[in-house]
Amino acid sequence: MSQLIGAPLTALGGILCLRWWIFWRKHYRGKLITYGPYSHVRHPLYASFLILVLGLALLITIPETLMLLLITLAVIPLHIRGEEKELLKRYGEAYRRYMKRVRWRLIPGIY
């Protein structure tokens, strides 16, 4: 049963990571990006990676993938906090307005 969920999640996470990378390469020019995937969550790459890792942990239920999931769940929120401090320094009020408009860092409705 977990493979029925894990395989599509892994594929979805991989596709979203790739789509984020293409979007980023096409649009980032040193300015704050608040549209596209950034209009849903403030950290779409981390959200995509989390989906990928969750899918892998369900698809390949071995200690290594479960550990990867636990490490990912522990590290991403810490990294986000540090990154958002840096983004506030870099973009100031524009990033504050963006934070108010896009409330969710990673998972809409949850975090």
| Domain range list for the chain | 2-101
Q: Give per-residue pLDDT as tens, 45-98.
A: 999 999 999 999 999 999 999 999 999 999 999 999 999 999 999 999 999 999
35 confidence band (pLDDT: 50, 70, 90): very high
Query: What is the SS3 string spanning the chain?
Result: CHHHHHHHHHHHHHHHHHHHHHHHHHHCCCCCCCCHHHHCCCCHHHHHHHHHHHHHHHHCCCHHHHHHHHHHHHHHHHHHHHHHHHHHHHHCHHHHHHHHHCCCCCCCCCC
Position 2 pLDDT exceeds 90: no
Determine what percent of the chain is predicted with pLDDT higher than 90: 93
pLDDT for residue 66: 95
The model's pTM: 0.90
